[in-house]
Amino acid sequence: MDAHAITLTLDIVLVISALLALYFRPRIGGQLAVGLRLIMVGVFILGLTHLTDTLLHDYVTAIDATMRPLLHRALNVIGFLFIFIGFFGMKRAIEA
C-alpha cells in the first residue's frame, strides 16, 4: 500500500469515526444536547478537513498549492468555532 492510499484510508476512518461519535453521543436533553451536537458537528468538520485536503491534492487540479492550505485552515477554524459555541452553550446551560 502506498502513502497516498494510506492517507486516504486514514482520512476516511477519521470522518467515519466523527460520524459514529455523533451517532453514539449521549442522549441528553435541552441546551446540553444542543451544545453537544454543535461540538460533534465541529469534530466532523475537523475530520472532513483532512479528507478534503487529500482529495483536493490528489484529484483537483483547479486549486493550486497555495490555496489548498488556506482552505484547510479555514475549515479548521469553522470546526473549532462550532466546538467553541457548543462548549459555550453547554456551560451556559449548566450554570442556569
pLDDT of 66: 82
Percent helix, strand and coil across the chain, each rounded to 5?
85, 0, 15
pLDDT of 58: 74
Give the pLDDT confidence of 27-80 residue by residue, as tens digits: 777 788 889 889 989 989 998 998 888 888 777 777 777 888 888 899 999 999
Nearest residue to 71 via CA among 95, 41, 91, 51: 51
pLDDT of 51: 87
Distance CA 37, CA 29 (A): 11
Distance CA 96, CA 29 (A): 14
- Provide the CA 58 distance to its chain's centre, in angstroms: 20
